Amino acid sequence: MIRLNNYTFSYPEAQSFLWKPLNYCFEAGQIVVINGGNGSGKTTLLNSLCGIIPTAIKGKVKGEIFYLDKKISSQPLNRTASEINILFQDPDKQIFMPVVEEEIAFGPENIHLPRETIIKRIDQLLARFNIEHLRYKKTSDLSFGQKKMVALAGILSMSPKVILIDEFCAGMHEKAINLVADYVQELKHAGKLIIFAEHHHSFQALADIQLDLDNFVQS
Ligand SMILES: Nc1ncnc2c1ncn2[C@@H]1O[C@H](COP(=O)(O)OP(=O)(O)OP(=O)(O)O)[C@@H](O)[C@H]1O
Ligand SMILES: [Mg+2]
């Protein structure tokens, strides 16, 4: 489903490429966990997998990343977003609608899904994440953990085929972590590809594939 073919990246002012070339294949129905210390490039790799790099964040690319045999870098971001969606490390960079319900509706409205489908998805996700009480709350009034759950609901509402999650566990309660771990296993069984970047090794037990970027960092 996603194939990295000798892929590596370098930010414009950097001296060298971040990693030795990466060669990996990730398939539908898999959970992938990307490990690595601070600065090993977990976020950079997720941004590459959804096309933000090099479309919005520029740099030097070597090799290629393919999604269903098409180069991700040559597709417009709005087309990629309905298939491959990313939960950012910082929810404040993700959430931009004033009310929770509007935030979750934003993605599916953008791809013109029918109103009933959108409402059904919002109902299901709010119930599933135990955040029904937040539905009409202002997003600016939410705690960090609540923002993360709302942002996650916001990307899942588009029903993407590939779900990228950057550092979910940091700053989250165990209850929320367990809830998401359970849900992710359902998504896996529904044929989604889920890729976590985790500094902590909390989702490791779920992983079909583990990629430790510390092993690829260029010295
Ligand atoms: N926009 C940018 N411009 C230049 N350099 C960057 C940029 N973003 C990240 N870097 C550098 O690239 C390297 C990888 O950063 P990245 O954020 O991908 O790592 P990470 O593994 O996600 O780290 P963390 O665990 O802190 O989230 C670091 O050395 C970082 O300083
Ligand atoms: Mg990061």
What would the pLDDT profile of 144-201 be if each residue is shown by its tens digit? 999 999 999 999 999 999 999 999 998 999 999 999 999 999 999 999 999 999 877 7
Best probe residue, ligand 1, of 18, 19, 44, 88 (max atoms within 8 Å of C-beta): 44
**CA 167 to ligand 2 center in whole angstroms:** 7
DSSP run (H or E) holding 197: strand 193-197
Q: pLDDT tens digits for 90-119? A: 999 999 999 999 999 999 999 899 999 999
Atom 18 of ligand 1 has which residue's CA nearest to it? 41
Atom 25 of ligand 1 has which residue's CA nearest to it? 38
Q: How far is CA 99 from CA 46, 72, 95, 136, in A?
A: 27, 32, 10, 6
Q: pLDDT tens digits for 22-59? A: 999 999 999 999 999 999 999 999 999 999 999 999 99
- As a whole number of angstroms, the distance between CA 27 and CA 194 comes to 9
**CA 130 to ligand 2 center in whole angstroms:** 27
What's this model's pTM, rounded to 2 decimal places?
Answer: 0.96
Atom 9 of ligand 1 has which residue's CA nearest to it? 44
Which ligand lies nearest to the CA atom of residue 166 in the structure?
2
**CA 199 to ligand 1 center in whole angstroms:** 13
**CA 133 to ligand 1 center in whole angstroms:** 36
Judged against a pLDDT cut of 90, whether residue 218 lies above it is answered with no
Domain 1-83+163-170+193-219 fold is: Rossmann fold (3.40.50)
In which residue are the tokens 């040559």 written?
A: 74
Atom of ligand 1 nearest to the CA of 197: 22
